Amino acid sequence: MTTVWITDLGNRFSVLREMLRNLVSKPSTICYPFEKVPVPEGFRGRVEYIDENCIGCGRCSRVCPADAIVMVEGPREMEVKGKKLMRKKKPEVAIFRCIRCGLCEEHCPQDPKAIRLTCEFSGAGEDREVVVG
């Protein structure tokens, strides 16, 4: 009986010791969004679309496993490798349907890429129909 009481007393002191250590240490959390979280290298965040770089080939919409990218009317005259072309369509990305796999960026033939994943990870919202493009 005495051994159980001593063991129980030791556990209580370890909890008390842990509480005192946490009272004097700095917090392990941050005040997001006021303080930004460091983003690890290779992080696949929100989709960014740059219309000036897009040639309207549609590769991004064909490889998207979540069907988050659709090609919509977006006629624009552009120059590719010294030739003037008329682009007929442009991609439109449903942000909350996107699974951020990176296949669209990988299959984009343009350099610099017309569609890419950024390091920005905030993207909460209520409207499921939000699109980029």
Return the CATH number at 94.
3.30.70.3270
Within a domain: 108: yes
Question: Residue 103, SS3?
Answer: helix
User: Is 104 within the bounds of a domain?
Assistant: yes
For residue 3, pLDDT over 60 is answered with: no
Short-list 67, 72, 127, 123, CA closest to 97: 67
Range of the domain at 112: 47-132
Q: Which residues pair with 93 in a beta bridge?
A: 69, 132
Q: b vs e for 36-58, b when ≥16 Cβ sit within 10 Å of the residue's Cβ?
A: eeeeeeeebebbebeeeebbbbe
Taking Cα atoms as reference points, which of 133, 122, 121, 128 lies closest to residue 60? 133
The pTM assigned to this predicted structure is: 0.69
Give the model confidence (pLDDT) of 80-128 as tens digits: 788 888 889 999 999 888 999 999 999 999 999 999 999 887 666 666 6
**Residue 10, pLDDT score:** 62
Judge whether 90 lies within some domain.
yes
Per the structure, the count of domains in the chain is 1
**Interval 27-85: pLDDT, tens:** 878 887 788 878 888 888 889 999 999 999 999 999 999 999 999 998 888 887 888 88
Locus of tokens 């449903």: 94
